[in-house]
Copies of this chain bind each other. A is one copy, B any other.
Amino acid sequence: MNHFSSVRDVPDLKQLLETALAVKQHPHAWHQLGKHKTLGLVFFNSSLRTRMSSQRAAYNLGMNTIVLNVSSDSWQLEFADGAVMRHDKAEHIRDAAPVMGQYCDLIGIRAFAGLQDREADYREEVLEAFKQYAGVPIISLESATLHPLQSFADLITIEMHKRSSRPRVVLSWAPHPRALPQAVANSFAEWMLRAEVELVITHPEGYELDPRFTQGAEVEYDQRKAFEGADFVYAKNWSSYTHYGQILTQSEGWMIDAEKMALTRQAFFMHCLPVRRNVVVADAVIDSPQSLATEQAANRVVSMQTVLKSMLEQGVASN
Contact = CB atoms under 8 A, between A and B. Distances in A.
Q: Is the interface of A mostly helix, strand, loop or mixed?
A: mixed
Interface stretch (A99-107, A120-128, A159-167, A221-229): A99-107
Interface residues of A, number: 62
A83 to B, nearest CB: 6
A52 B85 contact: no
A28 B36 contact: yes
Most buried by B among A87, A94, A275, A297: A297
A287 B95 CA distance: 9
A279 interface: yes
Most buried by B among A83, A84, A99, A278: A99
Please give the count of copies of this chain that the complex contains.
Answer: 3
A78 B286 CA distance: 15
A155 to B, nearest CB: 18
Contacts of A195: none
A314 interface: no
Interface in A257-295: 273-279, 283, 286-287, 293-294
Interface string A27-54: 1100100001010100100111101110
A85 B301 CA distance: 27
Interface stretch (A62-70, A141-149, A204-212): A62-70
A72 interface: yes
A63 to B, nearest CB: 9
Interface of A: 27-28, 31, 36, 38, 40, 43, 46-49, 51-53, 55-56, 59-60, 64, 66, 68-69, 72-75, 78, 82-87, 90-92, 94-96, 98-100, 102-104, 177, 273-279, 283, 286-287, 293-294, 297-298, 301, 319
7 contacts: A48-B74, A48-B96, A55-B66, A84-B277, A86-B276, A94-B277, A95-B273
Q: Nearest 4 A-B pairs (CB), nearest first?
A: A91-B274, A102-B298, A48-B74, A85-B276
